[in-house]
Structures are given as C-alpha cells and as structure tokens.
Amino acid sequence: MKRFLLLFGMLAVFCWVMPLQAQTNQKLRIIIIGAHPDDPDEMGGTAYKWAQLGYDVLMVSLTNGDAGHYKMTPEELAKTRREEARRAGEVIGVRYITLDNHDGQLMPTYENRLQVIRLIREHKADIVIYPRPYDYHPDHRYTGILVNDAAYMVTVPRILPEVPFLEKNPLFLYMSDGFTHPEPFKPDVCIDIDDVIEKKMDMYHQHTCQVYDWLPFNRGMLDQVPATEAERRAWLGKQWKNNWNADPYREKLIELYGQERGSQVKYCEAFQDSEYGTRLTKENLYYYFPFLK
C-alpha cells in the first residue's frame, strides 16, 4: 500500500510538472505593430532579448511611410523605408515588414481590421504589442484602434474564415507613451535595456531618411545633423537615448528587479496590459518575460 501511494504521488508530481515545463520551454511568438517603419523599434530592446532566446519576433508597419520626407517622391520614399526597416530587423535578427497603406491615410476600416487580424493569426501570436489610441499622429491613433478592434476577433472563426482562428487570445500590450489625455500610460512591466540600448540605437541608425533627414527637418534642426556616418551614429545616441530614460518607471523597476538593480537602471521599455486579451498576471509574468528573472 505504501509503495502504491508513493508511486501515485510521484505520478501526480510528474503530471503537474510536465505541463509547466512544456509551457516554460515554449518558444513564444511576438508581433510588434506600429504605424510607420521605425515605430516598432520603440520596443526594439525587448524584441532583441526575445530574439536572443530563439523566440519568433515579427515587426510590422501598417503603412509604407511614403509621406514623411521633404524631398523624396512617395514611390521612392516607400521603397527606401521598406528597405531601411528590413535592415533594422536584421540588426537584431528579426523579420520586419511594411504594408502598402499610405502614410497619413490610415483609417480604422473593416478592411484594415481584417489586415491586422490576418497578421496576428498568421503569426500565431502569443504577444501583440502596439501603440495606445492616444497620440498626436492619426496613423498612431488608428493603429491602436485597429489592433484593439482586432483583439477579440482573432478568436472568432466566422471572421476571416480563410485564415485559421486563434484558440487562445494573445496577450495584448500597449507601448509606452507620454500622453496624459484622456488617461496616462500605466506601466505593468518595465524591462531593463541597459545592456542592449546600443543595439536599439543601431536599429534606428538604419532608418536614415527618418532619423537624419525627415525628423530633424520637421523639428527645425536639420543643420545639426553631422555629415559622416560615425558622427551621425554618435549624435543619434546623444539625441535619442533619453527617450527611454528609466526614471519615470523607477518604482516599477524596483518592484520587478529589487532595490539594488532597479535603482540603477538607466534605460527601460515599459508595457501596459491593454485588457483586450489574455491578462498579464504575477503568475504568467516570467513566462512572457523570462529575462526578468
């Protein structure tokens, strides 16, 4: 009898541990959706950490970025930005694609919603990352709305029936932003990217027509951009790194990493649970973000 109880107990433990190990060892599939080529790079540090674990990361721009320049024709610009995005993905070893919707013209239509549903389903996403629908740029806002509208529908078989539906709704996470109306961003998880911040800058460095042409022009500082590639890369780091300053998220970083490490983080990427899909919890946090351990 004792031997039977012992064997029964060992079997019970085995049956409980195996599913947990299977979940822990699963290679996650992540899709990061932005409005323009270079928008998904906002989360490039965390994307790189996932890619280093062998996870399947896909970066997507819903528009081709064909309006954001002061000299290039739309056709030339779309081609250039698609290639720059592809190279940015190569920097961290992920696939980076751009769709053919026109820059500045993205609308939350049913047809565009189906595009997003298709993307998420075909990637079999476990995690979907995208902007909140509060932003100065209409393309950013409507990207947020389109993903929100697609979130539940990715599980509905009768919607886009030619693409297999997802049996489990992904985790839908908002990218961080500084907008406070109608409500401010609330970090649910913050990732220390100090060790990969230069890799993230290397990604942005690929978006030449944006970071060295259009954005400086648009902000009235084109005359400050250096001439050589090495000087430009150094200038980019000085100009942009502070966009991921960890100070606003210090409390959450200390909660996640402990007092010693959390108080020393210089740069981080923050995410908010959108509440539109699988919820982020204390129980699954390390499953989705294993590098927090």
Across 11-40, average pLDDT: 70
DSSP 71: S
Across 193-219, average pLDDT: 98
Tell me: pLDDT of 293 over 90: no
Tell me: pLDDT of 10 over 60: no
Q: Rounded CA gap, 293 and 230, in Å? A: 36
CA nearest neighbour of 169 among 273, 278, 58: 278
Percent of the chain at pLDDT exceeding 70: 91
Q: Rounded CA gap, 244 and 225, in Å? A: 21
Neighbour tally for 203: CB within 10 Å = 27
Q: Rounded CA gap, 92 and 112, in Å? A: 28
pTM of the model: 0.92
257-269 pLDDT, tens digit per residue, is 999 999 999 999 9
Average confidence score pLDDT of the chain? 93
Taken in order 196, 202, 203, 209, the sign of the CA dihedral is positive
Tokens of 37: 């080529």
What pLDDT was estimated at residue 84? 98
- Find the helix or strand (DSSP H, E) in which 265 lies: none
Place 20 in a pLDDT band, splitting at 50, 70 and 90.
very low
Domain 27-191+271-292, architecture per CATH: 3-Layer(aba) Sandwich (3.40)
Strand, coil or helix: what is 168?
Answer: coil
Place 25 in a pLDDT band, splitting at 50, 70 and 90.
low
170-191 pLDDT, tens digit per residue, is 999 999 999 999 999 999 999 9
Place 7 in a pLDDT band, splitting at 50, 70 and 90.
very low
